[in-house]
Amino acid sequence: MSLLRILVTGAGGMLGHDVVRAARFVNHEVVALGHEELDVVDGSAVERAIVAERPNVVVNCAAYTRVDDAQDDLDSAMAINADGARHVAAAAAAVGAAVIYPSTDYVFDGSKSSPYVESDEPRALSVYAQSKVAGEHETATSNPRHWIARTSWLFGVGGNNFVETMLALGRELDEVLVVRDQIGCPTYAGHFADALVQLTEGEDYGVHHIAGGGQCSWYEFAEEIFKQANVDTRVLSCTTDEMPRPAPRPSYSVLGTERPQAIYLPDWREGLASYLADRAAVSR
């Protein structure tokens, strides 16, 4: 394996942090640029940074991820997730670099009853999802050497996520209420980051589905969180209609793959265990 020079945008975020760590672990040279160092909305700044650093690969982890807020903030979501994606992918292409665009299971509407594969047509329900579909398109059309890596229900150290929300509620409440009719694949950001670095080491360009193994509901995920964390909190279930949110979510967004050389991640329960161990190590 030849060592690469990898530039990571959004390096201060949950996924970006883990991509930087994963790339350095296997001795790639990493240029880590957080939002303070590089705002992907500024196309000229993106071009200057990538021309100056001349990476082999850019991993674009800069993203607007607040699903509910995006419903009333279309301009910001599109500026970061779509326009920013175009700026990064085009600047990478200009210096001969490949680009990775992490995306989401939320690009699908949940109408299937079997796992979504790479060739399934996106049908976004929310503004956030629309912005990610647009970002996929901008990335693909701006740089022929691209990977679009969709994942599901991401959680990791250093970012807001469902696991942290449940643990915080569990410290305060005897019982919590969680929806049971949304099904997906919880994915540990550390495992997803390892897979993204693995992608950079080959040329299997195009769309990839990479998510935690297995599937569960948010209700089942919450039960497993409290079980593994040894938190004595009762989990009650409800339907999505009984707990409305500003942004619609797909009822079923399990990701499968049709790629012959697919990258498979550990089961979501293993991902949760790894996350809780990493979280404990950070807090020590």
- Please give the positions annotated as active site: 128
- Distance (Å, whole) CA 26 – CA 30: 11
In contact, 111 and 69? CB cutoff 8 Å: no
